[in-house]
Chains A and B, each alone.
Chain A
Amino acid sequence: MAMNRRGFLKLLAGAGAAGAASVAKPSRASEEFEGYPDRYGVLCDISRCIGCRSCEQACNQVNNLGAPAESFDNDKVFETKRRTSSTAHTVVNKYQKENRPPAFVKTQCMHCDEPACFSACLAKAFDKTPEGAVIWNEHKCIGCRYCMQACPFYIPAYEYDNAFTPRVTKCTMCYPRIKDGGVPACVETCPMDALIFGKRSELITIARKRIINDSEYVDHIYGEHEVGGTSWMYISKQPFEELGFNMHLGTTALPKLTYGYLATIPVMHITLPIILAGFYVISKGRKVSGKDETKGVQK
């Protein structure tokens, strides 16, 4: 065998450097992504919502989700906390504390700037469009439902009652409508302008203005920085903690937490065989020289 110890270490160092370079490059690119510049978003002003559930109705109609179990006029649905499902891409929940007016919180996909569902998907079935919507592609999905586990807001739902062609379902920010210059159906129907649609950067300015002009608002725009920023944002006059919002999600985009680790896996596929082969060569060499030594002793 031509390789000696020094040669092997040289090879190892070279492979390590190459590996480090290939890891560093994509992770740097990921950190530099600041979102599509002109992406749209929706600002939800919780203090304006009156809990009429028009948004739920409009969403149901636009997405052809079929007749609901309970009529949209029925206030009894507020007695329990609901989650988005395959038949309701958005739900409004009621939160009421004593001596306070009721607060209604609309829940739907937050359309993260760097979505965890997109990152977790094995089949690239998710896409973050330049318009800001996070959409799902029926033809690529393999039905693993990792997206449902990855979502920090528990949004994607699954058609469990559909045995043969089940789909992952969630709000699309009415992508077909906004692509044609329209606004999402829930925003269009909202009778109080609790939802407004526009460029995300402009919505943040509007939210700031409202907070500055009215001291009753909580000085926080939920979604501006949470999980690296979301297209859907909220402002409220009651503490977010008491309205079912998770305030412990941090400001780092969730894909970034796993990116470094995952990026090393392909590199390890190349370097690990080389390292192991090196160990084999060394150990084999030692055995041979050991034999020689014993021979020498015998002489």
Chain B
Amino acid sequence: MDERKLKQKALGVVIAALCLLLVVVMAAAEQADTQATPQATPTPQPVPDVIEIDNMVNLYDSVTFTHEMHVEFADSCASCHHHSPAGVTPACSACHPKAKKVEGTQDKLSLKAAYHKQCMDCHRDMGSGPMKCTECHAKRQAPASSGNQNQQGE
């Protein structure tokens, strides 16, 4: 009888020890994770000074985006290059499609809207920066392809 009780106690101790070990390991892993993120944020990648956004030019001219200036304003690269692994800064067009048709129930902005929303939402919140169409891109006299609205704006 006593021997059985002793065995039960020992089993309890072993389980408790295992649980403790698991918790310690998980905490350590989490700490390693949180340490890893800030390390990756200051990206050593070469940062372009100015980007000419001209991949959707039609009714308006291309936009000269002062990337370097915006790097100074932004908290981190991820402020604009969102939903990406740390240290990776994909172009908007890498995820946002030019096509406008909604397939399935995914609610992803098209490229044109992604550009506009990225710029204008921030400009509105900060209360500074261009908000009118022609403050960013001059209106073109002759659209590149009249009738096809696919590539209007920038």
Given A191-B113, A210-B107: A54 touches B101 (CB 8 Å cut-off): no
Determine whether the beta carbon of B101 is less than 8 Å from that of A183: yes
User: Which residues on B sit within 8 Å (CB–CB) of A206?
Assistant: 102, 105, 107
Q: Is B149 an interface residue (CB 8 A)?
A: yes
User: Which residues on A sit within 8 Å (CB–CB) of B146?
Assistant: 61
User: Which residues on A sit within 8 Å (CB–CB) of B105?
Assistant: 202, 205-206, 209
Q: Is A67 an interface residue (CB 8 A)?
A: no
Option from A58, A198, A202, A203 in Cβ contact (under 8 Å) with B149 = A58
Q: Tell me how far the C-beta of B89 lies from the nearest C-beta in chain A, rounded to whole angstroms.
A: 23
Q: Is B120 an interface residue (CB 8 A)?
A: yes
Q: Tell me how far the C-beta of A171 lies from the nearest C-beta in chain B, rounded to whole angstroms.
A: 15
Residues of A whose CB lies within 8 Å of any CB of B are 48, 50, 52, 54, 58, 61-62, 73, 183, 185, 187-193, 196-199, 202-203, 205-206, 209-210
Give Cα distance in the complex from A197 to B103, angstroms: 9
Given A61-B146, A61-B147, A188-B149: A198 touches B102 (CB 8 Å cut-off): yes
Give Cα distance in the complex from A202 to B120, angstroms: 27
User: CB-nearest residue of chain B relative to A55?
Assistant: B149
Q: Is B82 an interface residue (CB 8 A)?
A: no
Question: Which 7 A-B residue pairings sit nearest by Cβ, starting from the closest?
Answer: A198-B102, A193-B113, A205-B105, A188-B149, A189-B149, A206-B107, A191-B116
Give Cα distance in the complex from A199 to B146, angstroms: 27
Option from B100, B102, B109, B147 in Cβ contact (under 8 Å) with A202 = B102
Determine whether the beta carbon of B113 is less than 8 Å from that of A198: no
Option from A62, A73, A197 in Cβ contact (under 8 Å) with B101 = A197
User: Which residues on B sit within 8 Å (CB–CB) of A197?
Assistant: 100-102
Q: Is B150 an interface residue (CB 8 A)?
A: yes
Q: Is B104 an interface residue (CB 8 A)?
A: yes
Option from A52, A73, A193, A203 in Cβ contact (under 8 Å) with B109 = A193
Residues of B whose CB lies within 8 Å of any CB of A are 100-105, 107, 109-110, 112-113, 116-117, 120, 133, 139, 146-147, 149-150, 152-153
Determine chain B's interface SS by DSSP, over half rule: loop
Determine whether the beta carbon of A190 is less than 8 Å from that of B120: no
Determine whether the beta carbon of A192 is less than 8 Å from that of B117: yes
User: Which residues on B sit within 8 Å (CB–CB) of A187?
Assistant: 100
Determine whether the beta carbon of A188 is less than 8 Å from that of B150: yes
Determine whether the beta carbon of A183 is less than 8 Å from that of B100: yes
User: Which residues on A sit within 8 Å (CB–CB) of B133?
Assistant: 52, 73
Q: Tell me how far the C-beta of B38 lies from the nearest C-beta in chain A, rounded to whole angstroms.
A: 28
Determine whether the beta carbon of B107 is less than 8 Å from that of A190: no
User: Which residues on B sit within 8 Å (CB–CB) of A189?
Assistant: 149, 152-153
User: CB-nearest residue of chain B relative to A42?
Assistant: B102
Give Cα distance in the complex from A139 to B71, angstroms: 60
Give Cα distance in the complex from A52 to B117, angstroms: 14
Determine whether the beta carbon of A198 is less than 8 Å from that of B120: no
User: Which residues on A sit within 8 Å (CB–CB) of B103?
Assistant: 198
User: Which residues on A sit within 8 Å (CB–CB) of B117?
Assistant: 48, 192-193
Option from A48, A191, A198 in Cβ contact (under 8 Å) with B112 = A191
Give Cα distance in the complex from A203 to B105, angstroms: 7
Given contacts A199-B102, A205-B105, 17 further A-B contacts (CB under 8 A): A52-B133, A58-B152, A183-B101, A185-B149, A188-B100, A188-B150, A188-B152, A189-B152, A189-B153, A191-B152, A192-B116, A193-B117, A196-B102, A196-B107, A202-B104, A202-B105, A206-B105
Q: Tell me how far the C-beta of A50 lies from the nearest C-beta in chain B, rounded to whole angstroms.
A: 7
Option from B102, B112, B120, B147 in Cβ contact (under 8 Å) with A50 = B120
Give Cα distance in the complex from A203 to B150, angstroms: 21
User: Which residues on A sit within 8 Å (CB–CB) of B109?
Assistant: 193
Give Cα distance in the complex from A187 to B99, angstroms: 11
